[in-house]
Copies of this chain bind each other. A is one copy, B any other.
């Protein structure tokens, strides 16, 4: 009986059975290769961290997804969702001068999040595997060089996976450059929206995407054609009136309902004005929630503002087909996507509160270290690829993370030694005419109590990239059948040419 890829325990908790663990281990090794190219050293921080550190960084109260431990001493222990605090505290204790930098440290380990609603298997779980890299540099310039080096390593890593991905601008930062990027797989199962231009290379996430405002619209509109949504601030002290131009699809006679706010208002843009509204509360119930002392705030889209400042925001929601802000002719389109990686220049966000200071040249006072943090969702990549490449017959793993690159299946015509001989041909580096050549990571299914048809269905289900069958042709001509479902290939080859044939197929996967 084949071991399932991953076992389900309780909501948001998963076990990795042997084949699943091989997939995860292969992905970890691939990550190690690319982290090593950056000169990063691997470590392993405890899954347990402390409230004290998280209070010091200011992240404790803001995080409602922290899993707390009940221990015998009420020690304030947490299961860490990320490790910025711990790694900053460790490096702060070891590094005194700019001469000790740069340092690049990473780990691949379990992370924890008290998900409100765990869903989609490995895509959103309470316990998940993540690669987290932390970088430490002595000034902004070297930190930005590090950031570019990480982006380049991420490019190589995602190229290796051979799954199409998008790199979206995720934060415009405050240092002149783009200092945060998200790495996405396009997928209908995704929970993120990634916008891209039809013409230029502009790609941005939902929070950051900008459209080109039609300046004529801004001038010709008047407040008379505006739509007003009434909202309440998150802290419930303020009534917020949101003014946007009335969309063409909405006749003037029609009053807006609260659900229209999600269709027409860019809530990220509202947040960027400095107002946090509670989007879960409908206008009709506001009156009962607002205290008598409530203040009132008006937020205007640039097209309907009574003011004429040039810097007023565009508060309308971006729609597919809106014009790109970065080029003349492009139009914006949106795709559902799964975020699988993130690079982030942190600056002194953690080094300052946690006192990670170093002596620097030409200064008598110590300076906070310039940091970066760079994640890769290991469980997410596995879950996303499983869903992206599967078809009605089963999973389909890309070569670099497949539990085995090829499986050899024996039919009734093949003896045990026959199976072993074909297996050896693939996975032993024996001398052949083509030279030593590449060996193929292979598994042999020679179970005597299963039919060849059963084994074929099982191999398809598990998703080995290449299947090698000792069937009728083996008996007649000592030839094997090579199948690759993803490439739609089935061919019959003699033993002498088998390894080369399989290697050629794998190169395309």
Binding site for B on A (CB under 8 A): 1, 3-4, 7, 9-11, 13-18, 20-21, 24, 41-50, 64, 67-72, 75, 77, 79, 86, 90, 94-95, 99-100, 105, 110, 114, 116, 126-127, 449
Q: Which residue of B15, B46, B75, B95 is within 8 Å of A127 (Cβ)?
A: B46
Interface SS of A by simple majority: mixed
**A105 contacts across to B, CB distance below 8 A:** 18
Q: How far is the CA of A44 from the CA of B79 in the complex (A)?
A: 18
Separation in Å of the A359 CB from the closest CB of chain B?
Answer: 14
User: How many copies altogether?
Assistant: 2
For A116, the closest partner residue in chain B by CB is B72
Nearest to A7 among chain B residues (CB) is B90
Cα of A127 to Cα of B77 in the assembled complex, Å: 12
Q: Are B69 and A43 in contact (CB under 8 A)?
A: no
Report 20 cross-chain contacts, Cβ distance below 8 Å, ordered by A residue: A1-B94, A1-B95, A3-B41, A4-B94, A9-B50, A9-B86, A10-B77, A15-B46, A15-B86, A16-B45, A17-B43, A17-B90, A18-B42, A18-B43, A21-B44, A47-B47, A48-B126, A67-B71, A68-B69, A72-B116
A15 B1 Cβ-Cβ under 8 A: no
Within the assembled complex, what's the spacing in Å between the Cα atoms of A13 and B90?
14
Residue of B nearest to A41 (CB): B18
Cβ-defined contact, A16 with B1, below 8 A: no
Shortest CB-to-CB span from A74 to chain B, Å, is 11
The residue of chain B having its C-beta at the shortest distance from the C-beta of A68 within the complex is: B70
Q: Which residues of B contact A48 (CB under 8 A)?
A: 9-10, 13, 126-127
Chain B residue, CB-CB nearest to A89: B9
Could you tell me if A13 and B46 are in contact, using CB atoms closer than 8 angstroms? yes
Q: Please give, as numbers and ranges, the residues of chain B lying within 8 Å of A77 by CB-CB distance.
A: 10, 13
A-B contact sample (6 more), CB < 8 A, given A7-B45, A15-B90? A15-B45, A17-B90, A46-B127, A47-B47, A72-B116, A99-B449
Q: Is A69 in contact with B70, judged by CB distance below 8 angstroms?
A: yes
A20 cross-chain contacts in B, Cβ below 8 A = 43-44
Which of B1, B43, B49 is the one whose CB lies under 8 Å from A100? B1
State in angstroms the CA–CA spacing of A71 and B41 once bound together. 33
User: In the complex, which residues of chain B have a beta carbon less than 8 angstroms from the beta carbon of A64?
Assistant: 72
Nearest B residue (CB) for A99: B449
Report Cα–Cα, A86/B71, bound state, in Å: 22
Question: Given the complex of chains A and B, what is the CA–CA distance between A70 and B112 in angstroms?
Answer: 12
Cβ distance A72 to chain B, nearest Cβ, rounded Å = 5
Whether the pair A16, B43 counts as a contact (CB closer than 8 A) is yes
Contact present for A69 and B72 (CB under 8 Å)? no
Task: Give chain B nearest CB distance to A394 CB in angstroms.
Answer: 18
Min C-beta distance of A152 to chain B, whole Å: 23
Q: Are B43 and A21 in contact (CB under 8 A)?
A: yes
Complex CA gap A3/B91 in Å reads 10
Question: Given the complex, which residues of B lie within 8 Å of A126, measured CB to CB?
Answer: 48, 71
List of B residues within 8 angstroms of A69 by Cβ = 67-70, 79
With A11-B75, A77-B10 in contact, is A16–B44 under 8 Å at CB?
yes
Distance in angstroms between the alpha carbons of A294 and B261 in the assembled complex: 73
The interface residues of chain B lying within 8 Å CB-to-CB of A3 are: 41, 43, 94
